[in-house]
Structure 1
Amino acid sequence: MFSSELLLRISKEVGAPVARVETTIKLLEEGATVPFIARYRKEATGNLEDVKVRDIDEQRQYYAELEARRATILNSIEKQEKLTEDLRSKILACFSKSELEDLYLPYKPKRKTKAAIAIERGLEPLANYLWEQAGDQPAGEFAERFINLEKEILTIESAIEGALHIIAERVAETPEFRKQLRDTMMSEGVVRAKVVSGKETEKTKYEMYYDFQETVAKIPSHRMLAIRRGTREGILNFSIDVDNTKFIVTLLSRIIRDPQSRFAPFLDTAVRDAYDRLLLPSIQNEVRSILKENAESEAIKVFEDNLRTLLLAPPAGHLPVTGIDPGQRTGCKVAVVDETGKFLENQTIYPTEPKQDLEGSEKTLLDLTQKYNVRGIAIGNGTASRETDAFVRSVVEKNKLDVFVVVVSEAGASIYSASKRAREEFPKLDVTVRGAISIARRLQDPLAELVKTDPKSIGVGQYQHDVDQKKLKRSLASAVESCVNRVGVDLNSASVDLLKYVSGIGDKLAQNVVAYRDQHGLFCSRTQIQEIEGFGDRTFEQAAGFLRIKGAENPLDRTAVHPESYPLVERMAASLGVSVNELVENPTKIKAIDFKAFETESGRYTVTDIREELLRPGRDPREKFVVPKFREDVKEIGDLKDGMELEGTVTNVTNFGAFVDLGVHQDGLVHISELSHKYVQDARQAVKVGEIVKVKVIGVDPAMKRISLSMKALIPKPPKRVRGKRRPTIAPEPTEAMAARATGSAKPSGTPRPKKVRPERQVLQKQQTRPPRPPVEAVPPAPKQTMEEKIRLLQEKFGRAR
């Protein structure tokens, strides 16, 4: 278990009371899942949301790794017999991974450095002599004793050079100096990006970064990731700069005791070498890594939020749907599924160029619609989607069909249709037909279908291919798990891909559930799942509440009430003299229950959740389904004109704005500044993926495939607040002034002082023009001195004379 100090630290970092953090960590270490803790252990956690529970879990893992690393470091230094009590205390008091590594750096096994070679040659006493700055003997004289032909120390200069290398490494590895430079670079450093020489005239998406700078403290994650990608693609170079002179002066003031001493010039040389060669590059790399990690974390958070919104998009519901995967040369693949998503039939139609068989396509579509009583038609938003959409709508309107038509995102559908799981489900069907089936099912239930696709291929991320893929995968899996358990799963219809995200189940057990269902038929009771191989008591506890059985013998099996609370519900029903069946969905009876009395035995949060489930059993937390409408006169990017007003669907939200699908094969961007008249710090606070929005076109560049949109242009500008004029505050009159006025000795007040008139001479001087300065000739930079040359000069000045 974690120490009280660590618990307090985690409590502050996640913003939750220590007692709740401790309980949550205990539950996590016992094997409870995040969804289970958030939903069924609210009394223990104080109703912490799943996001907060996940934050606690992440911090728990971070500090567990830190504690393991701390133990390794202590063991390593102890084996070297260099572990002092002071060093041990510093290591035990450290709670930052980077600062822990700073403490370990001087003792860390490393390759042979210049300092290590100098130490091997016996020059450490000379380095200590210079470092301590206390000797009476000039450095040159003291260094003479270290000349040794066998150790290849042939001159005084080479001896001093080796000693200065030792000092330089000592300075660069001082934890205090490293932390100070790291903090300075994070607070005052500047990220500078430049275009690679020779590519200044090239048109690229990185043009805004050709001559760019922004402070490390303020640079947004999307800009940092864009700069890194541009650098990786060979278009940009970037650096992280800080005021080097200022920091070197700080170092010198900390190390050199007397700037006038004979040791000062040698230490000055060592410090500058330490900074330029060791300290600065090392900390720059660290800050680069910190910026990368921070930018990646933010990008992953954006992706996770967008994915969560997309997965929780409103479902059209259980109704027969036709899915169409649009195409031109090979035609449009049409697939029909029933209200449960079961595949019924597929056809191919050719409503677009080059064949454009409108009559035959209409007949096929009508036949399928009437044969299977189709209620909705889902069209993928890929190539030829607008043309296909226009054709389908014309057929629906012409024949007065009671069918709605929706263009849905087909991102990831092609990847799923070629996957092993899709081949197992539809071994005899073509890849494109599988894609059409997936499109139809996405309309019925986005969550149930999207979980079959790798989240990275859904296309709602921000630089998702540039971030740590392990972290991304873990984060997205958490988002999917959260959404699946929030909605709940129908045990009798859920696929393996959906079941595997249910709390406590996983892929292997999900396959066992489906195999059992195929062999024994539909489930009638939650307790039945305990007959499945691998479904022990612990797994049942974690999973049961999230599994629903429609038409179950026990009405509570249709709800989110956990089986452990069934006895409580039975007592509630008994208190009214009715059965549980009579209680469920009976507002009058439910209102008559004395819930306060039951709170004493089970807790307020549990009782409140039970009450909600009794009123609306198995309620779906997702919003109501709404059909978006595209303009019929806009099919290509070339059809867009400035000033046009359209309706579209938000497909992606990033830190810099939102992308909107207008049905022209290229999403438009609503920049964050165009979302609202009010200041928007985070675009995710203004819009969400899947939301239908109204936008105005404010710019189109067909060549670069850029569409600029505005939402605030369609929103009336709020009137400016008129502030009343402030009355001037009259300060109380000083006592002396009052006395003077009373005695008649006060000077008359209220007469303005005359303004000073600028002398004419000054005006004339201002009007005069200065003669042009002579051109300054460029002075070539002095050649950089080697360490040996510097030491020779120091020897001449300070080595023996002083």
Structure 2
Amino acid sequence: MLDIQKLLAEELSLRPAQVSSALDLFAEGATVPFIARYRKERTGELNEIQLRDLSDRYTYLTEVEERKKSILDSIESQGKLTQDLKTKIETCLQKNELEDLYLPYRPKRRTRATIAKEKGLEPFAAWIKLLNQSNRSASLEAEATTYVSEQKGVKTLEEALQGASDILAEEVSEKANLRAYVREFLLETGAFNSRIKADHPEGTTKFEMYRTFQAKVSAIAPHNLLALCRGEAEGILDVALVFDEEAIQHYLETQEIFSKAQPVREFYRKMLKDMFNRLMRNSLVGEVRAEKKLEADIESIKTFETNLRELLLSAPAGMKPTLALDPGFRTGCKAAVLDQTGKFLQYQAIFPHTGVEKRKQAAATLKQLIQNYKIELIAIGNGTASRETDEFVGEVLATLEQKPIKVMVNESGASIYSASEVAIAEFPDLDITVRGAISIGRRLQDPLAELVKLDPKSIGVGQYQHDVDQKLLKKKLGETVESCVNFVGVDLNTASKELLTSVSGISATIANNIVAYRNENGAFSDRKMLLKVPKLGPKAFEQAAGFLRIRDGKNPLDNTAVHPESYPLVSAIAKDLSVPLSQTPQIADQLGKNLRKYITDTIGEPTLRDIIRELEKPGRDPRAEFKYATFKEGIKELSDLRVGMELEGVVTNVANFGAFVDIGVHQDGLVHVSQLSDRFVSDPNQIVKVGQVVKVRVMEINESLKRIGLSMRTGEKPERSASAPKTDHKRAEKPTTLNDLKAKFGKRL
């Protein structure tokens, strides 16, 4: 069998010792964030991306090895395992190639070939096969007469010939080398072709660009393929994988026909055509579509991961007294007051959009809330009535000397949260709309702490998120949340159980126990108290402690990412330098000059560098500085826009084809990838990130379809990159011809 560790080292360009150490740590139950942060010496400083790639590939190869064992046992039990076949199976690295090798030996349902064998036609098929290989000439019909038997169910010559053909067709269709070649052929030269069904007139669907669409299988953009799949699933598109069938038939004939006798050659040509259409076409087309769909899923999920990471790591406005407003017209605006820890204090409904008198009352109430609670932040949800509410709040703030910062907050998923079990458990006595307002306010204070309570799919930063592999999506988004939470760190004394659950080594049960212990015994004063929490043993403590922060605790190091296992070393360093442990920046400054002096067998230079960074700025937040967009006054609805307007907005989503930007009109505009910059852009993430404040220009307005085209280009003539693609997916591409294939594949044809 394969040496998986050696193979992983080669594939991922790692040293064998790095692979071995990382796999050992995984086997011990260590998490990716913990290994990346606190076991750099053991892994040679592998980062999270490398560790996750290693883990994923190890899992895949382990599954392949397990499948090999069961396949070898099955074939051996049939007495058909040759040394050559065994070698092929043992050296196989891909699941689909492994299944191709197993296909001839897999237990079968009743097929046309098995029925023909039951009728005694297997010797006839073997005779024709030998005739083809020996290049002898003989009458197929004459031989077929010896197999015609009413008793066995073979009534005519044609039935005998067809039965033999069925047996040979099944045998040929199961040849791994032929299946591999045809699969590669479809991937290399095939094209996806779509048409809108006749019962959908032009201009009536969202799939108009796919009305007459064709793109090569090898070059189709992931979002195009996912759109085709969605259109097909919704019954609007007919999607086909087209290819040069003549070339495939020619290839099969060169591989399977050896006789020069015309009757034998004609029999085989007919058999191969039937074999491909009946036994190979659908399965291989299905495999190719599945393979390309998986690739598109992976690319889409990567985009989702990137957007989610940017959103979760959005700069927090800070834990300050906050007034959160969930806007509404007739039903009023729900105002929720939160203190500097995010604790809900008061709720009030105001009605600024239902008449002059109620607007005056709303202004008085809002002013009183701001002054009574010394509000520093005002969060306004960006849904219905948001711009009108923003304008109203601005009028109130104009009358105040001390003005809070007013910010429009993306409320995607807030309604889902407010109806969730999490929200009900936290605020069982509050109305669903009030819970939504609280969530909006907390998103402004600390986006990460609030957004972890939501299913990432409901946050609204995905691309075809409901069309991709849901199991893979859940896994990857879960890894992203885990990575972000551990990167930032968690305040042990204020974190919700949902936030704690994403901390390395902490399960949902342990998170519940931490909150219960905190409620019963008060705030944690040092990290060691965690060991008193039920079910949180030494292993969980090792994995989690470094990511949990305690502000104003007994030990200053508890408010840093320095792991408790390094406390003795830091204390010894502080003593050597005659610096109090509370003066961590001084320790860092002096330690930097004598770093190598403190290297031990377990703590090397990488960990010491990390310790210095933490001591320089204890309790620091690694997220960026808080910024917010200012929407243009008077621009509240789509109808207020004019082509050429220059506006400020916030990027809400980034896709392969461009970025969506909220400009304050309740409908995000699209900056197509070609409009993101004056230069050629292959990846929108190189230019913009979710949450980024950008300046855009209105290029197009379509009120009937509620579409807004925006541009971030300055107007300068762009220079096309030498690597810029010049493909036009709307233009139908002619499938590769037989002559093209001969030139490309040469001897194989």
Fold-level match, TM-score > 0.5?
yes
What amino acid is the match of 1:599? I
The secondary structure found in structure 1 opposite 2:263 is coil
Report the Cα distance in structure 2 between the residues aligned to 1:26 and 1:646, rounded to whole angstroms: 54
In structure 2, the partner of 1:444 is 445
Q: 1:569 and 2:570 equivalent? A: yes
In structure 2, the partner of 1:703 is 704
Instruction: Quote how far apart the aligned CAs of 1:137 are.
Output: 3.4
What amino acid is the match of 1:302? T
What amino acid is the match of 2:421? K
CA deviations over 1:761-800 (Å, ceiling 9, x no partner)? xxxxxxxxxxxxxxxxxxxxxxxxxxxxxxxxxxxxxxxx
Q: 1:144 and 2:145 equivalent? A: yes
Instruction: Quote how far apart the aligned CAs of 1:251 are.
Output: 0.7
In structure 2, the partner of 1:121 is 119
In structure 2, the partner of 1:80 is 78
Instruction: Quote how far apart the aligned CAs of 1:81 are.
Output: 2.0
Is the CA contact 1:590–1:615 (under 8 Å) kept in the aligned structure 2?
Answer: no
Instruction: Quote how far apart the aligned CAs of 1:12 are.
Output: 4.2
In structure 2, the partner of 1:175 is 176
CA deviations over 1:656-700 (Å, ceiling 9, x no partner)? 000000111110000001111222111111110000000000001
Instruction: Quote how far apart the aligned CAs of 1:571 are.
Output: 2.1
The secondary structure found in structure 2 opposite 1:659 is strand
Q: 1:42 and 2:43 equivalent? A: no
CA deviations over 1:339-378 (Å, ceiling 9, x no partner)? 0000010101111247882101101110100000000100
In structure 2, the partner of 1:391 is 392
**One of 17, 23, 34 as aligned partner of 2:21:** 23
Instruction: Quote how far apart the aligned CAs of 1:518 are.
Output: 0.5
The secondary structure found in structure 2 opposite 1:147 is coil
Where does 1:779-794 land on structure 2 (aligned, <5 Å)? Answer: none
What amino acid is the match of 1:585? P
Is the CA contact 1:349–1:364 (under 8 Å) kept in the aligned structure 2?
Answer: yes
Where does 1:665-744 land on structure 2 (aligned, <5 Å)? Answer: 665-712=666-713, 714=714, 716=716
- Residue 35 and residue 720 in structure 1: after superposition, are their counterparts in 2 closer, same or farther (change >3 A)? closer
What amino acid is the match of 1:439? I
In structure 1, the partner of 2:734 is none
Report the Cα distance in structure 1 between the residues aligned to 2:54 and 2:321, rounded to whole angstroms: 43
In structure 2, the partner of 1:658 is 659
Instruction: Quote how far apart the aligned CAs of 1:232 are.
Output: 0.9
**One of 94, 97, 101 as aligned partner of 1:96:** 94
- Residue 260 and residue 451 in structure 1: after superposition, are their counterparts in 2 closer, same or farther (change >3 A)? same
- Residue 587 and residue 393 in structure 1: after superposition, are their counterparts in 2 closer, same or farther (change >3 A)? farther
Q: 1:503 and 2:482 equivalent? A: no
In structure 2, the partner of 1:208 is 209
Is the CA contact 1:126–1:163 (under 8 Å) kept in the aligned structure 2?
Answer: yes
Report the Cα distance in structure 1 between the residues aligned to 2:186 and 2:13, rounded to whole angstroms: 28
In structure 2, the partner of 1:364 is 365
- Residue 537 and residue 370 in structure 1: after superposition, are their counterparts in 2 closer, same or farther (change >3 A)? same
CA deviations over 1:707-762 (Å, ceiling 9, x no partner)? 000001x36557999xxxxxxxxxxxxxxxxxxxxxxxxxxxxxxxxxxxxxxxxx
Instruction: Quote how far apart the aligned CAs of 1:574 are.
Output: 2.4
Report the Cα distance in structure 1 between the residues aligned to 2:475 and 2:299, rounded to whole angstroms: 14
In structure 2, the partner of 1:376 is 377
Report the Cα distance in structure 2 between the residues aligned to 1:238 and 1:29, rounded to whole angstroms: 45
What amino acid is the match of 2:81? L
Where does 1:322-721 land on structure 2 (aligned, <5 Å)? Answer: 322-353=323-354, 357-582=358-583, 584-586=584-586, 590-591=590-591, 593-599=593-599, 601=601, 602-712=603-713, 714=714, 716=716
In structure 2, the partner of 1:227 is 228
Instruction: Quote how far apart the aligned CAs of 1:399 are.
Output: 2.9
Instruction: Quote how far apart the aligned CAs of 1:587 are.
Output: 6.2
Instruction: Quote how far apart the aligned CAs of 1:131 are.
Output: 1.8
- Residue 3 and residue 99 in structure 1: after superposition, are their counterparts in 2 closer, same or farther (change >3 A)? closer
Is the CA contact 1:590–1:614 (under 8 Å) kept in the aligned structure 2?
Answer: no
CA deviations over 1:92-143 (Å, ceiling 9, x no partner)? 1111000011111111122211111112222111112212223553211222
In structure 1, the partner of 2:747 is none
Report the Cα distance in structure 2 between the residues aligned to 1:715 and 1:579, rounded to whole angstroms: 58
State the TM-score, normalized to the length of structure 2. 0.93
Report the Cα distance in structure 1 between the residues aligned to 2:592 and 2:70, rounded to whole angstroms: 62
Q: Identical aligned pairs, as a percentage?
A: 49
Is the CA contact 2:189–2:217 (under 8 Å) kept in the aligned structure 1?
Answer: yes
Structure 1 unaligned spans of 5+ = 722-802
Is the CA contact 1:411–1:459 (under 8 Å) kept in the aligned structure 2?
Answer: yes
What amino acid is the match of 1:575? D
CA deviations over 1:181-240 (Å, ceiling 9, x no partner)? 111111111010111123243421100000000001111111101011111111101111
Instruction: Quote how far apart the aligned CAs of 1:25 are.
Output: 1.6
Instruction: Quote how far apart the aligned CAs of 1:589 are.
Output: 5.1
Superposition RMSD in Å: 1.7
What amino acid is the match of 2:8? I
In structure 2, the partner of 1:68 is 66
What amino acid is the match of 1:590? Q
In structure 2, the partner of 1:7 is 5
- Which stretch of the first structure deviates more once superposed, 658-667 or 103-112? 103-112
Where does 1:202-281 land on structure 2 (aligned, <5 Å)? Answer: 202-281=203-282
Report the Cα distance in structure 1 between the residues aligned to 2:296 and 2:719, rounded to whole angstroms: 38
What amino acid is the match of 2:522? G
CA deviations over 1:586-614 (Å, ceiling 9, x no partner)? 26853565112223542111010011111
Report the Cα distance in structure 2 between the residues aligned to 1:10 and 1:143, rounded to whole angstroms: 55
CA deviations over 1:616-666 (Å, ceiling 9, x no partner)? 112211000012100012100111111000000000000000000011111
Instruction: Quote how far apart the aligned CAs of 1:17 are.
Output: 3.3
Is the CA contact 2:592–2:612 (under 8 Å) kept in the aligned structure 1?
Answer: no
Report the Cα distance in structure 2 between the residues aligned to 1:590 and 1:245, rounded to whole angstroms: 76
The secondary structure found in structure 1 opposite 2:689 is coil
Report the Cα distance in structure 2 between the residues aligned to 1:608 and 1:80, rounded to whole angstroms: 61
Report the Cα distance in structure 1 between the residues aligned to 2:330 and 2:13, rounded to whole angstroms: 57
Instruction: Quote how far apart the aligned CAs of 1:458 are.
Output: 0.3
Report the Cα distance in structure 2 between the residues aligned to 1:468 and 1:21, rounded to whole angstroms: 28
Is the CA contact 2:577–2:587 (under 8 Å) kept in the aligned structure 1?
Answer: no
Report the Cα distance in structure 2 between the residues aligned to 1:352 and 1:56, rounded to whole angstroms: 57
Report the Cα distance in structure 2 between the residues aligned to 1:545 and 1:241, rounded to whole angstroms: 56
The secondary structure found in structure 2 opposite 1:580 is coil
**One of 56, 59, 78 as aligned partner of 1:58:** 56
The secondary structure found in structure 2 opposite 1:344 is strand
CA deviations over 1:44-88 (Å, ceiling 9, x no partner)? 222121122111111111112111211121122222222222111
- Residue 588 and residue 437 in structure 1: after superposition, are their counterparts in 2 closer, same or farther (change >3 A)? closer
Is the CA contact 2:654–2:689 (under 8 Å) kept in the aligned structure 1?
Answer: yes
Is the CA contact 1:143–1:156 (under 8 Å) kept in the aligned structure 2?
Answer: yes
The secondary structure found in structure 2 opposite 1:502 is coil
The secondary structure found in structure 1 opposite 2:599 is helix
What amino acid is the match of 1:25? L
Report the Cα distance in structure 2 between the residues aligned to 1:118 and 1:355, rounded to whole angstroms: 88
The secondary structure found in structure 1 opposite 2:582 is helix
Instruction: Quote how far apart the aligned CAs of 1:400 are.
Output: 3.9
The secondary structure found in structure 2 opposite 1:585 is helix
Instruction: Quote how far apart the aligned CAs of 1:426 are.
Output: 1.1
Instruction: Quote how far apart the aligned CAs of 1:3 are.
Output: 4.9
Is the CA contact 2:300–2:464 (under 8 Å) kept in the aligned structure 1?
Answer: yes
What amino acid is the match of 2:79? E
Report the Cα distance in structure 2 between the residues aligned to 1:520 and 1:217, rounded to whole angstroms: 61
What amino acid is the match of 2:76? E
